Structure 1
């Protein structure tokens, strides 16, 4: 028998396997740190609450209560098992647009299946019916929404908690739904779930334009089964996620070479959507890091950048003309925040690290395992000053993570980030595309994380 020597550089050579072994070890360490960080956040929160130092939340760092669900979780577990089995092959084999539609449908079904464990279909509308929510304040827009907009900052103290904490656009969106015949929390819930789950398709479109179709197909199952689905049904932040995701997808589509009409229409519409983000939530400004990463990867033509810039000013111009000055809204919201009993009483030091544990719950262990590979790709790309394998995916996830860390350090978001950070967390999940398909074990770990949180935590959203 002739023994053939395996040459250096061949995939079978021991030296070639070394980087993969290091990546696996780093991934396992990252997952251990993920679990330890989440445990530390809850243990510290329990201790602070017991000492009377953190009393705003019953289960810090989450804004919810501890509970135990058993048999009501079975349908959601069945949906998870089916999705883990079929999503990877569907994402690989279906035509592109069919794969997007399947992932969108799976994401919506997953969010609904998790939510209805809290009491059937009524659980989908219950979060929107709370006296602190937007729907409770819709009457203030009657009979003159323009007058409401002009006096929004001056009369902020009179509005419900969520209205006080946000710019006026979310209320105007719900008012517009009501005006076209889709009033009530049932229609609002359907709108939020459909929009929030559609972000799976939008993010995949962005990944396809910046990192290639193979990476986008790898990302689809992880986007659809991400634990953040727990707060897609039904938190208004899921709608914010959709606006940011589709705006970024349109920018990515417009920035690519060979786009229709030079990419100008797509970039302009994407700019309009992205320009609306600060008028949906004051905490969405750092999300601009993601479309900036898209531009850095795509290097669009000047006319595309000009169209994007024109689109970005549309919504701010309309609101300013309508009498709402964004900086006045920020100041008024800050004043109401400081005098309220809400998150102003929360400890900055505790939530600065504990909220990162919540981010870990939103994104799941598969993302933790992939982050070392993403960081390695960023490092290799920076050293080579070139596009190395995995760099586009890592840059998108890293941009979202950077925006989240900026919010965390600023103290603008202390607590309740399980919903507030949903528009950021979905982009961090893109890092899971670095797993080799079908990666069912990691996909199952994502689903189990969501099921465990739903079974053990009764969230207000």
Structure 2
């Protein structure tokens, strides 16, 4: 019998090219996930292509990178710090949130979110730069002076004289920055610090709600994705990040708490926060679908629900007593919006383009998660957020600039990314690197690197 001589040294094959590795990874994805990612990519690419054509034709005039409201910019060396931090976070944060006490996991994820968000901001124009703009809320503080109630009573009457962002919102955001100023936290930097610190806590509140909905394991799994969500680019620094925190904590407090007194107190605090949402932004009325859906899933005690209603009614009564009626504010703001160049944005393009922006700020992992792997009770909250966004999208009142306007909804929609799955990789590789989380971090870096946003 003839035998072949074998070399004592194994034959080393050349490493596969990046294209081949990407193709192999694509083949490992489940078919529903592949379809979801294909739709995600087509939506994003098609919206940018159509936006470029409409910009060249002069149909889109105030957005220079449609569907985003911003400009293209070249990446700078400042991105090295967030890139290094993002890589470390992807590598170690999932292990940390999975193995430590739950309270420690919450703190670690919040610290990671805060560091990631600040590093992204300072790699560009800086943390406080958005609040220095003449159309932002701080510009109207001289009109408030030391008389917030008098200013509030004349808010609707004097609305045409105010900066753009003030004209487009109810009066509560201005009162927030006025309160910071009155407390000695003056200027755009302090406003930015408070907004970013609060905005990053929205992920903590969402995770606490997830624990109530689907258990601690699901909450631990969600924490890294909430910390590194691509929307972090606009959490620093947009006032809408504060709105996101108010909404997320309102939902969490509604379903947390043990004992009758704690539940009633939590319900009252939830009502105050959720009741403040329509006075922070008129577009947050559909957000109330989220606490309603979560309440149906969790069934909080009657005492908590009654306390929440009392809290929300207290907010409405306080503003009415001070002279601001919400329906009158809506009418006045709609008149200002109709005269603004933003109202001339093409409806049909932004009907689709706004969804492309949402796809980017929630990341590709969210598309994969929406393919059907979200736990059923968590899916209720995600579906409510999607429904609220679709209602705003169809209405046309949030036509453009949704990278900041939809931040309160994005933190709930992006929750789906934590449950992407659908990848038949070996267990050892999955334990070392979470590829979906890496995709989220890379998306955030690319958005920061390539999009120059006024927020």
TM-score by length of 2: 0.90
| Equivalent position to 2:161, from 158, 166, 173 | 158
Is there any run of 5+ residues in structure 1 with no aligned partner, and where? 1-20, 378-389
What residue in structure 2 maps to residue 172 of structure 1?
175
SS of alignment partner, residue 414 of structure 1: coil
Q: Is 1:116 aligned with 2:125?
A: no
8 Å contact from structure 1 (residues 223, 426) kept in 2: yes
What residue in structure 1 maps to residue 454 of structure 2?
460
What residue in structure 2 maps to residue 385 of structure 1?
none
What residue in structure 2 maps to residue 131 of structure 1?
134
1:8-407 correspondence to structure 2 within 5 Å = 24-119=30-125, 123-254=126-257, 258-259=258-259, 261=261, 263-341=263-341, 343-374=342-373, 390-407=375-392
User: Which deviations, in whole Å up to 9, do the C-alpha atoms of 1:225-255 show, x marking residues without a partner?
Assistant: 000000011100000000001111100114x
8 Å contact from structure 2 (residues 354, 402) kept in 1: yes
Q: Distance between the aligned counterparts of 2:44 and 2:256, measured in 1?
A: 37
8 Å contact from structure 1 (residues 253, 266) kept in 2: yes
Q: Distance between the aligned counterparts of 1:62 and 1:165, measured in 2?
A: 18
8 Å contact from structure 1 (residues 393, 433) kept in 2: no
8 Å contact from structure 2 (residues 370, 420) kept in 1: no
Q: Distance between the aligned counterparts of 2:169 and 2:136, measured in 1?
A: 11
Number of paired residues?
420
**Segment of structure 1 superposing worse, 173-182 or 139-148:** 139-148
In the superposition, relative to structure 1, how do residues 357 and 259 fare at CA in structure 2: closer, same or farther (>3 Å)?
A: farther
8 Å contact from structure 1 (residues 77, 451) kept in 2: yes
**Cα distance, 1:23 vs structure 2:** 8.2
C-alpha RMSD of matched pairs (Å): 1.5
**Cα distance, 1:363 vs structure 2:** 0.4
8 Å contact from structure 2 (residues 366, 420) kept in 1: no
Q: Distance between the aligned counterparts of 1:297 and 1:46, measured in 2?
A: 43
Q: Is 1:418 aligned with 2:417?
A: no
What residue in structure 2 maps to residue 17 of structure 1?
none
Q: Distance between the aligned counterparts of 2:214 and 2:414, measured in 1?
A: 15
8 Å contact from structure 1 (residues 23, 372) kept in 2: no
**Cα distance, 1:262 vs structure 2:** 6.1
Q: Distance between the aligned counterparts of 1:68 and 1:276, measured in 2?
A: 39
**Cα distance, 1:334 vs structure 2:** 0.6
Is there any run of 5+ residues in structure 2 with no aligned partner, and where? 1-26, 422-429
Q: Distance between the aligned counterparts of 1:73 and 1:23, measured in 2?
A: 30
Larger Rg: 2
**Segment of structure 1 superposing worse, 227-236 or 72-81:** 72-81
SS of alignment partner, residue 426 of structure 1: helix
1:411-450 correspondence to structure 2 within 5 Å = 411-435=396-420, 440-450=434-444
8 Å contact from structure 1 (residues 149, 322) kept in 2: yes
Q: Distance between the aligned counterparts of 1:92 and 1:435, measured in 2?
A: 17
In the superposition, relative to structure 1, how do residues 451 and 23 fare at CA in structure 2: closer, same or farther (>3 Å)?
A: closer
Q: Distance between the aligned counterparts of 1:419 and 1:226, measured in 2?
A: 14
In the superposition, relative to structure 1, how do residues 137 and 22 fare at CA in structure 2: closer, same or farther (>3 Å)?
A: same
SS of alignment partner, residue 78 of structure 1: helix
**Cα distance, 1:117 vs structure 2:** 1.2
User: Which deviations, in whole Å up to 9, do the C-alpha atoms of 1:119-177 show, x marking residues without a partner?
Assistant: 4xxx1111100011001111110142111100100110010110000000000010001
